[in-house]
Chain A
C-alpha cells in the first residue's frame, strides 16, 4: 500500500507538471503549424533557392536528435549571456523540430492534390497566392489531419526528454518524486498512464475535428469514382 500512497502524495505535483507538458506541446505544435504551412507552400511552389533553403532546414531538424538540440540551444543561450528559461528553450527546440516534420506532412498533402485544382483557379483569374489560400490549403489541411494527429502524439512523448534541462513537466516531477521515495515502478507507471490518457483525449478530439471538416463524399470516394470514369 505504501507505493499507492506515494503516488497519491505525488499526484498534485505530477498533475501540475502535466499543465507544463501540455503547454509545451501546444505551443510547439502551434509554432510548427504557423511555420510549417508556409514552408510546405514554399517547397512546392517556391523558387529554387527557397526550396533549397526549406530542404536544408528540414534536413537539419530531422537529422539531429532532440536531446542534442536541447543542449545545443542551452549552450547557445549561455554563450550569448541570455537568461536561461528551460521551458522557453524546450518550446523552441520542439517547435523547430515539429516545424520540420509538419512541413513535410503539409507538403505531402499539397502534392497529393490533383494538378487541375490550381489550373482551374488560375483559369478563373485567381493569383497564385489567392488560389493557394482559397483552393489548395483548405483541401491540403483536411488531408493533413491524420498525419498531424500522429505528429501530436510523437511530440507529446518527445516532450518528456525536455526534463533534462529542468523543465517542470510530468517527467521532471515524476523523476524528482522517484528519487526521493525510490518508488520508481509505481510513479513511472502513473506518469505513463498520464501520457497515455493525454494522447487518447487529444487524438479523440482531433478525430472528431476530422469528421467535422470532412467534405461529403470526399477522399473516401475519389479512388473508386475515378476508376469507374475511365
Chain B
C-alpha cells in the first residue's frame, strides 16, 4: 500500500429501484491530489461522492482511508471516518437556524468535544480563511450563495479532514458568484489539500486537476491527466463532452 494514498475506493456498486446507479467504480486519491469527476447529469457523480462517506450506502465495494478499511456496519467507526472526510454539497446544506460561526462551531463542540469558546475561536479562524471574517454573526438566509458555500467549506475545514469531497460546489450559484468559491478551492489545492470534486467547470478542471475521471451511466469510463484527455485529436469521450459543453456556451 502506497504511503501517500489517502483515499482508495474499490468496486463501488449501487442499485436503486433495480436501476444501476454505480457500476463497479474505483478510484485512488493520493495526498495533495485534486481528482475531478465530470460527466453528464445522471452519470452518478453525486451518488459516487455520497457513497464514499456512506450518506448513500453502497451495495458493495470497499473504502479505505489511509489504508484502513471502513467497516460500514460499525456506527462509531463510520462517524469517525466521516469526521476525517469533509463533504461539500451542491446546495450548501448550512444549518439554517445557526449563525455562520455556529455552523462551523457546532460539530467541533458536539463531535470533537471542544469547549464553546475554543470552538468559537476556531470557527472564526476558519471563516477568516475563506474571507468571511466580517460575516461570522450572520445567518445563512442573510448570506449570498457564494458566501454560504464558503461557510460550508469552512465548516468542513474546521474538522481537519484528510480529504474533502465536493459535490458540484458551484452548480447552484449565480454565475457571478462562482469565482469566489472556485478561488477558495484553488487556494486549498495549492495548500496541498486532498480533494475529489464533481464539477462542470471545465476551465477549472483543466487548470487544477491532477486527474480527470469521466463518468457515464454509473461507470468511470475514462481517466487521466487533463492535458492527455483533453488534447486535440485525443478522440476521448471526455474531450467530446467538453466540446459540447463549450458549444452550449457553458
Contact = CB atoms under 8 A, between A and B. Distances in A.
Interface of A: 114, 116-117, 119-127, 130, 134-135, 138-139, 142, 215-218, 221-222, 225, 229
B80 interface: yes
A218 B139 CA distance: 8
A125 B96 contact: no
Contact of A116 (B83, B93, B145): B93
B155 A124 contact: yes
Interface of A is mostly: helix
Contacts of B91: 114, 116
23 contacts: A114-B93, A116-B89, A116-B92, A117-B96, A119-B55, A119-B93, A120-B89, A120-B94, A123-B82, A123-B86, A124-B83, A124-B106, A125-B81, A125-B82, A127-B75, A130-B110, A135-B106, A139-B95, A217-B140, A217-B141, A218-B97, A218-B139, A225-B141
Nearest to A216: B139
Contact of A126 (B50, B89, B111): B111
A126 B79 contact: yes
The 3 closest A-B pairs by CB, nearest first: A217-B141, A125-B83, A120-B93
Contacts of B87: 120, 123
B156 to A, nearest CB: 8
Contacts of A216: 138-139, 141-142
Interface in B84-113: 85-87, 89, 91-97, 106-107, 110-111
Nearest to B82: A125
Contacts of A122: 55, 82
Interface of B: 50, 53, 55, 75, 79-83, 85-87, 89, 91-97, 106-107, 110-111, 138-142, 145, 152, 155-156, 159, 172, 174
A121 B142 CA distance: 21
Contacts of B110: 126, 130, 134
Contacts of A116: 89, 91-93
A125 B76 CA distance: 9
Contacts of A134: 106, 110
Nearest to B137: A216
B150 to A, nearest CB: 15
Nearest to A217: B141
A218 B141 contact: yes
A124 B141 contact: no
A124 B93 contact: no
B141 A221 contact: yes
Nearest to A229: B172
B65 to A, nearest CB: 13
Given A125-B107, A126-B107, A229-B172, A215 B141 contact: yes
Contact of B159 (A114, A125, A135, A222): A125
Nearest to B138: A216
A120 B139 CA distance: 16
Quick one: which of B89, B97, B111 has the most chain A CB within 10 A?
Answer: B97
B51 to A, nearest CB: 13
Quick one: which of A114, A120, A135 has the most chain B CB within 10 A?
Answer: A120
A37 B80 CA distance: 28
Given A138-B97, A139-B97, A124 B107 contact: yes
